[in-house]
Amino acid sequence: MKVLKKNDRRLKRSSVGKMIRNLFGVLAVLFIIWRLYLVFIVQNNYGPETWTRLLIAGLVIGSVYALIAIGYTLVYGILFMINFAHGEVMMLGSFAGFFVFEATNAINITAADGSVTSLTNAQPVLSIILAFLVGMTFSAMVGFFLEKIAYRPLRKAPRLIPLISAIGASFALQNAALLLFSPQTRNYTNPEFLARGAGWRIMINETAVILPYTGVLTMVLSILLMVGLLLMVKRTRLGKSMRAVAMDKDTAALMGIDVNQTISNTFIISGALAGAAGVMWGLHNGILHYFVGFLPGIKAFTAAVLGGIGNVPGAMLGGMVLGLLEAIGPAALDISFQLKDVIAFVIMIVILVFKPSGILGEVLSEEKV
């Protein structure tokens, strides 16, 4: 066989790539340091009270992102698909919680002293628990049926197919909510003691910084839920079977694990978490409409990838990092708040360029030869 002339022009291309990458990284870091220097040393516009406020806002929004991100990550870990409709599941959960509060508001209870209060205020804890239960249950149901109808038949298909199905589901759920509930913006009526804007007053620099009750509730509850989830994944039978299915479906099936049931359970859990996030969203932010799930959905997906998709602690970390970046980033780098998503995405890209599997993601073995 005739041997053609060899191509000798190829030099060390990979090192050129590495150089560009490093240059990119160094530039990014230098830029950030320069802006931080400007803000903290040269301008120093904001006192500690402002930073505390930003921190609070970042932590609250971060914990909501984290909860939603866990849903993405759980599903991704098992099915390797992006459940694009997850934000819509959250939105529906939020609606369910809203209806609970509307119902408890409508019921009037006459107290012993003759004053009339709504059930929401007479039994605030009960109504909040009820709202969370209903919201989580409803979202879990939506997640369950979503998997059963739109994803299960596609389990063997190439990976892009379920993604498109999920996009379709996202459209369908969003517009179903639009048509059912009208495009009107709704308001959560919180129990009085959880009124939005009310909170503990912390004096910093002789200025009162409000630590809102709803924010604290959101943070505490989401951390509790996340810890609970972690324990469940680590300790319980269900968690073990989830991990087994994530590793290898066929082998897990051979070990006697009901793969379908496990996947359904995963969707139920991720749906329930999204529902909880939805109710928290409503309690903290108050407003609710059919489009409310879209942006947090995209953000939480970003957070999940940032933390290392498929990795539960990673999703939490990613959510928190993203929340803080969004809240503090623009002020800390002295960039317009309009560009906060740009900052978040750029920093995400920088992180991913250097850690291609996210912050906590396992290094995918490059060559499984």
Partner 1 sequence: MKVKYFVVFLLVFVLALSACTPEAETPVEEPPAVEEPVAEEPADDPCAQDAWGCAVIQPGQTIKIGMSSPMTGPYADFGIDAQNSGLIGVADAGDVEGFAFELVAEDDEGGAEGGAAVANKLVADQTFVALAGPLFSGATAAAMPIYEAAGIPMMSPSATAGFLTQEGSQVFNRLPFVDPIQGAAAAEFMFNTLGVRNIAVLHDGEDYGRGLATIVRDEFTELGGTVTAFEGITPGEADYTPILSTIATQSPEVVYFGGYNQEGAVITNQMKAVGLEDAVFFGCDGTWGADYLSQTGDNAEGSIHANTRAPEESETKAAFDEAYLAAYGVGPVVLSPFSYNSYDAVTILTNAVKAVAFLGEDGNLYIPRGALVAEVRGTTGYVGIGSYSCDAIGECNTEGPAFETVVNGEWVVLD
Partner 2 sequence: MADLIIETKRISKFFGGLTAVNEVDLQIPKGSIYSIIGPNGAGKTTLFNCISGFYVPEIGDILFLGQPIQSRSTDYIASQGISRTYQNIRLFSNLTAMENILVGQHTNLQTTWLDAIVHTPRYVRESQYSHDEAVRLLTYVGLKGLGDYLACNLPYGMQRRLEIGRALANAPKLLLLDEPTAGMNPQETVDMIKLIRMVRDELGISIILIEHDMKVVMDISDRISVLDYGTKIAEGSPKEIQANERVIEAYLGPGGAALADKYQKRRRKHA
Partner 3 sequence: MNSEKYLRNSVQKGFIFSIVMIFMMMIGFHVVAANLTSKLFGVQVLRGSIPEVVFMAYVHLFFAFIFGWGASDKNRPSKQRVAQGLVTSVTTAAIISLFSLLLVFLVEAQLDIREYLTAFSADYMRYFVLNLGRPGIITLFGIYTVTGLVGTVTALFVQSDRVQQAWNRAKTSVTLFWENANSKMPAWAQKYGKYVIYGGSIIVLLILPVRWGSYLNFVTSVVGLYIIAGIGLNIMVGLSGQLMLGYAAFIAMGAYSMALLNAPTPHGIMLGFWPSLLVGVVMAMIAALILGLPIMRLRGDYLAIVTLGFGEIIRILLRSDLLVDFTGGPRGIHAIQGPTLFGRPFNSSSDFVYLIFFFIALSILIYQRLANSRTGRAWLAINEDSIAAQATGVNLRGYKLLALIIGAAFAGLVGGIAASRNAFTGPNDHSLMVSINVLSLLIVGGMNSIPGIFLGAFALRGLPEILREVETYRQLAFGVLLIVMMLVRPKGLWPSSRPIMENIDKAKVKKAKEKVKKTKRKSKDG
Q: Is 156 in the site for partner 2 (CB under 8 A)?
A: no
Is 60 in contact with 221 (CB distance < 8 Å)? Answer: no
| Interacting residue with partner 3 among 179, 208, 220, 231 (CB under 8 A) | 179
Q: Is 44 in the site for partner 1 (CB under 8 A)?
A: no
Q: Is 1 in the site for partner 2 (CB under 8 A)?
A: yes
| Interacting residue with partner 1 among 17, 197, 228, 356 (CB under 8 A) | 197
Q: Give me the residues paired with residue 200 across strands.
A: 211
Q: How many residues bind partner 3 (CB under 8 A)?
A: 63
12 binds, among partner 1, partner 2, partner 3, none (CB under 5 to 8 A by kind): partner 2
The phi and psi torsions of 147 (rounded to 5 degrees) equal: -65, -45
CB neighbour burial string for 54-73, b if at least 16 within 10 angstroms, e if fewer:
bebbbbbbbbbbbbbbbbbb
Q: How many residues bind partner 2 (CB under 8 A)?
A: 12
Q: How far apart are CB 1 and partner 2 at their closest, in Å? A: 5
Indicate the residue among 162 and 215 with the shorter CB distance to partner 3: 162
Distance of CA 369 to the CA centre of its chain: 35
**Residues in contact with 326: Cβ distance below 8 Å, sequence separation at least 6, in sequence order:** 58, 61, 299, 340, 341, 343, 344
| Interacting residue with partner 1 among 46, 144, 181, 345 (CB under 8 A) | 46
The phi and psi torsions of 187 (rounded to 5 degrees) equal: -125, 130
Alpha helices in the chain (DSSP H): 13-37, 48-79, 86-106, 119-122, 124-146, 160-181, 213-235, 237-247, 249-254, 259-285, 294-307, 312-333, 340-354
Q: Give me the residues paired with residue 209 across strands.
A: 202
305 binds, among partner 3, partner 2, partner 1, none (CB under 5 to 8 A by kind): partner 3
119 Rama class: left (phi>0) / alpha (psi -120 to 50) / beta: alpha
**Residues in contact with 100: Cβ distance below 8 Å, sequence separation at least 6, in sequence order:** 127, 130, 131, 134, 135
Q: Is 237 in the site for partner 2 (CB under 8 A)?
A: no
Residues 89-128 contacting partner 1, CB under 8 A? none
Indicate the residue among 4 and 203 with the shorter CB distance to partner 2: 4
Residues 11-30 contacting partner 2, CB under 8 A? 12-14
Residues 297-336 contacting partner 1, CB under 8 A? 326-328, 330-331, 336
Indicate the residue among 113 and 367 with the shorter CB distance to partner 2: 367
Read off the tokens for 120.
């929401």
Distance of CA 205 to the CA centre of its chain: 33
Binding site for partner 3 (CB under 8 A): 10, 13-14, 17, 20-21, 24, 76, 82, 99, 102, 149-150, 153-154, 157-165, 167-176, 178-182, 184, 298, 301-302, 305, 309, 336, 338-339, 341-342, 345-346, 348-349, 352-353, 356-358, 364, 367-369
Binding site for partner 1 (CB under 8 A): 45-47, 49-50, 53-54, 56-58, 60-61, 175, 178, 182-185, 187, 196-197, 199, 207-210, 212, 281, 284-287, 289-292, 294-295, 326-328, 330-331, 336-338, 340-341
